[in-house]
Amino acid sequence: MSSPFNRKPWPMKWVVLAIILCVVPYTIITLKYRKAGPAFQPYEDSKQRANVLRLLDAGYQRINATAERPADPHLLIGSIRSPAPVQPAPSGIGEGLATALVEIPQLPVSFGNITAASESASMLPYPVVVTCLLDDQKHQLGGAQVFVRGESVVIVPQFEPLRGELTARTKESTVVITLPAGALKPGPYHVHLAGRDQSRQWKLAVK
């Protein structure tokens, strides 16, 4: 009887063949049944959970708002009835929200013309036409986070990077930030549009 220690190893061609027979089916099954979506990011997921808990503890409700570039901003501005008087406001997102958030988001440098209605119905979307100055031409506004606590509404524009070598024509951008229908309950509100060097504010009555 031969000793197991004296057995000859498999030829390399059989080793390679065995690896291929295992790897190829595994790759096919993985690609076919793998769930779509972004890869798991432990740090980002933990930060998001911490953000939610801290906002809830501070009494804030967070709402996602869309941002779109209108084909004709002047046409939309003309359609807004009873535009609110928009006033300068202290820069930043405010002390209360800054304390609640895990990380202070990037903000537009400043704002130009802001047009928003002074009155709205709770079951209708609420659009705000925003002209703002960005830090560079490699980003664009891609939406906004809206934080509501009592009669306070803080709109925090969000940035998204442009792909590849694309750049915006100018650092100034005009978008329509739209709060979804039902986001605000009936009542009076003080709206704060947050900017890095300059913010804007106005009053809103929701019926």
What is the domain-level CATH number for residue 189? Answer: 2.60.40
Q: Does residue 77 form part of some domain?
A: yes
Confidence band, pLDDT 50/70/90 cuts, at residue 105: confident
pLDDT at 150: 92
Interacting residues of 4 by C-beta distance below 8 A, sequence separation 6+: none
The predicted-structure confidence for 24-64, as pLDDT tens digits, reads as follows 666 666 666 555 555 545 545 565 677 677 777 778 899 99
Q: 42-56, 87-101, 120-134: which range is least confident on average?
A: 42-56
Query: Which carries the bigger pLDDT value, residue 183 or residue 6?
Result: 183
Q: Is residue 27 part of a domain?
A: no
Half-sphere exposure of 33 (CA within 13 A, CB side): 6
Q: Total structural domains in the chain? A: 1
Residue 155 has pLDDT above 80, yes or no: yes
- Per-residue model confidence (pLDDT) at position 168: 47
Residue 90 lies inside a defined structural domain of this protein: yes
133 — pLDDT class (breaks 50, 70, 90): confident
Residue 9 forms part of a structural domain = no
pLDDT at 95: 85
Q: Using CA atoms in the order 70, 110, 177, 152, what is the torsion angle rounded to 10 degrees?
A: -160
- Single-letter code of the amino acid located at 174: T
142 Cβ neighbours under 8 A, 6+ residues apart:
67, 158, 159, 160
183-200 pLDDT per residue, tens? 999 999 999 999 999 899
Assigned domain for 20 exists: no
Which structural domain range is residue 197 located in?
60-206
Residue 91 forms part of a structural domain = yes
Cα 57 off chain centre by: 21
- Which pLDDT score is estimated for 178? 92
Task: For Cα atoms 199, 150, 195, give the angle at the middle one, nearest 5 degrees.
Answer: 10
Helix intervals (H) in the chain: 12-33, 42-57, 73-79, 95-100
- For the chain, how many residues are written? 207
**Higher pLDDT, residue 139 or 129:** 129
Q: Assess if residue 135 is contained within a domain.
A: yes
- On whether residue 153 sits in a domain, the answer given is yes
The first and second tokens of residue 105, run together, are 């988001």
Check residue 121 and give its pLDDT. 93
Residue type, 136: D
pLDDT over threshold 50, residue 166? no
